[in-house]
Structure 1
Amino acid sequence: MNKHAVIVVLVALLAGCDNTAAPLSFTPEMASFSNEFDFDPLRGPVKDFSQTLFNEKGDVAKRVSGSLSTEGCFDTLELHDLESNSGIALVLDANYYLDAETREKKLRLQGKCQLAEMSASGISWDTDDNGFIVSAHGKNLQISYRYDADGYPLGKTSVSGDQHLSIAATPSADKRKRMDYTAVSLLNEKPLGRVKQTCDYDSHNNPVKCELRIVDQSVKPVVERKYTIENSIEYY
């Protein structure tokens, strides 16, 4: 076998390995935080990221950004919802997340970097043996969370007084395209809304750009809104 043939064989073998290697699972912190703070979970050695949601006019509706340690802990997390004019920037300090501006303690942690309690609102979180948040509870509030075998968040159920809200997501069967999903939400067993998202992906199987459609069934006539999500991700 000549040298050129050897190179061709090696390239083919490496390409075969890349195509068949199973994508990485979602970590407990990434999956749980995405549930709580409403952003798409990412996988792999993420160093920092931003997710920006644009409305149909091209205006920024929401932006989430964060930085993570090599262990996968969120060192910082910043959330801005321009539609509701709200936001917060959190920074990790020992066993707490502090308000980056006021330095007020906002969230207490359990273990190295998982959510435990938001004392101001009386909410606390419980984890399973693998470190995923599986429930949250507070005064007149109970939430349960579901994940698949790879840590992908499948939805949650919230009960507050006589309000029963459930969200169920169905991801693509292709594990490399988990952010291609549909989701339905029900309020007291009545349809509240539907969501469908499709994305383009990078080599880590993370979304770089997505098209999001949200159908609001709580109003008559039904309203459909279209959004675009652009992600910027830096890896270790």
Structure 2
Amino acid sequence: MVSAVLAGCDDAPAPDAFTPEMASFSNEFDFDPLRGPVKDFSQTLMNEEDKVALRVTGTLSKEGCFETLDFHDVESNTGASLVLNANFYLDSMTQEKRVKLQGKCQLAELSGTGLVYETDDKGFVVAARNSDAEIRYRYDSEGYPLGRTAKSKDKELSVEATVSSDAHKKHDYTAETTLNGEVVGRANQSCRYDSHFNPVSCELVMTDVSVTPNKVQKFTIKNIINYY
């Protein structure tokens, strides 16, 4: 019986890989990437006072293209609301062109900044640059974003994540942020997952080690995900 159970586990389907669009957008716009046929989602970051600090919502086509993407940093009162229109994402309020696309729905250029994106042969955004800065993006073998390094004239800011060895729990990770080679921050996240191995809720601890004593912030991330 034990061998039969083990054989059944071996035959279980592997989790879906992360698509180039989902991985690239999440890497650029700072939200947790999702697997599978996602129709729409919301991710809400709650602080220790149970107040909303950050909210991201999105809708996707059956092909996996973002049709809308809305993100709002409540604490700094910044954000954007994007809607797909042909080869651009427009500001949903002003209808101004914000993001130019390459192919069907991958990042090509960020309007107003001169930031141009580069993709690899699998379609993942691996670099972006303008006259002032260069950014390099990293992913693991399943397409999960592992971080990025941004270089400007005299600064190099890098985020490097180490994910769980369990392929079903990619959102369980530790991460380290460095500025010019010195560690300035650390993060640790652990999650509960749904049947698509996407996070339902997560606990995130962020530590600012650039100050003494270190500043520790704890957050809860609540996700609502609907599938096709």
Q: TM-score, normalised by structure 1?
A: 0.92
SS at match of 1:35: helix
Instruction: State the match for 1:193 in structure 2.
Output: 185
What is residue 75 of structure 2 aligned with on the other side? 83
Judged with a 3 Å threshold, the aligned counterparts in structure 2 of structure 1 residues 209 and 140 are, in CA distance, closer, same or farther, namely same
C-alpha deviation, 1:17, in angstroms: 6.0
In structure 1, distance between residues paired with 2:11 and 2:192:
17
Aligned match for 2:16, one of 12, 17, 24: 24
- From 91, 107, 130, the equivalent of 2:99 is 107
SS at match of 1:36: helix
Structure 2 residue 46 is matched with structure 1 residue 54: yes
Matches within 5 A, 1:63-212: 63-212=55-204
Counterpart CA distance in 1 for 2:25 and 2:96 is 20
Structure 2 alignment gaps of length 5 or more: none
1:140 partner letter:
D
Q: Distance in 2 between matches of 1:42 and 1:59?
A: 24
Deviations 1:24-79 (A, max 9, x none): 10000000000111000000000000000000000000000000000000000000
Q: Which one-letter code corresponds to 2:99 in the other structure?
A: L
Q: Distance in 1 between matches of 2:11 and 2:27?
A: 30
Structure number with the higher helix fraction is: 1
Q: Give the superposed CA RMSD.
A: 1.6
How far did 1:220 drift? 1.7
Give the aligned partner of residue 4 of structure 1. Answer: none
Q: Within the alignment, does 1:220 sit opposite 2:188 as a pair?
A: no
Residue identity (%)? 60
- Decide whether aligned partners of structure 1 residues 18 and 84 sit closer, same or farther in structure 2, where only a CA change above 3 A counts: farther
1:173 aligned counterpart, secondary structure: coil
Deviation at 1:19, TM superposition (A): 6.9
- Alpha-carbon distance in 2 for matches of 1:18, 1:64: 36
- CA distance in 2 between counterparts of 1:169 and 1:35 reads 12
Larger Rg: 1
Query: Is contact 2:173–2:190 with CA below 8 Å preserved after alignment?
Result: yes
- Alpha-carbon distance between aligned partners in 1 of 2:151 and 2:78, rounded to the nearest angstrom: 24
Shift of 1:143: 0.5
> For 2:136 and 2:25, how far apart are their aligned partners in 1?
14
Q: State the match for 2:221 in structure 1.
A: 229
Q: In structure 1, what is the Cα distance between the partners aligned to 2:209 and 2:48? A: 19
**What secondary structure, in the 3-state scheme, does the structure 2 residue paired with 1:42 have?**
coil
Which amino acid counterpart does residue 92 of structure 1 have in structure 2? L
Tell me, in whole angstroms, the C-alpha distance in 1 between the residues paired with 2:93 and 2:65.
20
